[in-house]
Amino acid sequence: MKKISTHLGKFIIGLLIICTLWMVLDYNDILNHKVINQTVEAGVYIDGVRTEDISVNIEGKYYPNLFKPDEFWGRFEVPYLSETTEDHIIANITWYETKGKKDTYHYQLISFFNNRGEIQRIKSTHTIMVNRSMDAFVWHLETGEVIATSDKVFLESLRKP
C-alpha cells in the first residue's frame, strides 16, 4: 500500500509540474500559436454584384486553444474600410461553436482595438465567416456591402441563416 501511495504522489507531482510548465509557456506566448502573414485577394459586392477588387493584408498570430475558443490577434487590413488600415488598430477574431439539439453552429466575431485597448467602431457587423487558415472569408457590412474572397464564398454566405 505504501508503494502505491508513493507512486501516486510522484505521478501527481509530475502532472502538476507539466501543467505549470504548460501554463508558463502558454502565458509567455512561446507555445501554441501559428504566425500568419499573407495577402488575400477579395472583392466588394454591392447588391450581389462584384464591383471592386481589393487585397486584404492579414498579419498576426492564430491561437488554437484546447479549452476555450480559438483566436487571432493582429492586423486585418481591408482597404475598403480605411479604419482597419490605421497603424494603431489591432484586430481580434474569435472562433465560437454553439451546440444545439440537432446542429452545431459555428460563427466568428471580429473586433478592432486601438493601442489603448478601446474597441473601435467599424462600419461592419461583428460577425465574419472566416476559415482557420484565414485565406477564405466573407464579411457583411452594415451599409449592405459584402467583402468576400470569392464568388463561391459570397454565394454560400447568402444560403446560411
Per-residue pLDDT tens over the stretch 59-96: 999 988 777 888 999 999 999 988 888 888 999 999 98
Q: Are 44 and 87 in contact (CB under 8 A)?
A: no
Give dist(CA 56, CA 78) in Å, integer.
5
**CB 107: neighbour CB atoms within 10 A?**
14
Tell me the DSSP string of 61-115: EEE--SSS--EEEEEEE-TTSGGGGSTT-EEEEEEEEEE-SS-EEEEEEEEEE-T
Cβ within 8 Å of residue 3, ≥6 positions away = none
pTM summary value: 0.77
Give the tens place of pLDDT for each residue, 3-61: 777 777 777 888 888 777 767 666 555 556 788 999 999 999 999 999 999 999 999 99
Q: Are 146 and 44 in contact (CB under 8 A)?
A: yes
Report DSSP state, residue 35: E
- The per-residue pLDDT for 28 is 58
Residues in the chain: 161
- The per-residue pLDDT for 46 is 93
Residue 102 has pLDDT above 70, yes or no: yes
- The per-residue pLDDT for 127 is 82
Cβ within 8 Å of residue 41, ≥6 positions away = 53, 54, 55, 56, 149
Cell of 37: 502573414
- The per-residue pLDDT for 58 is 95
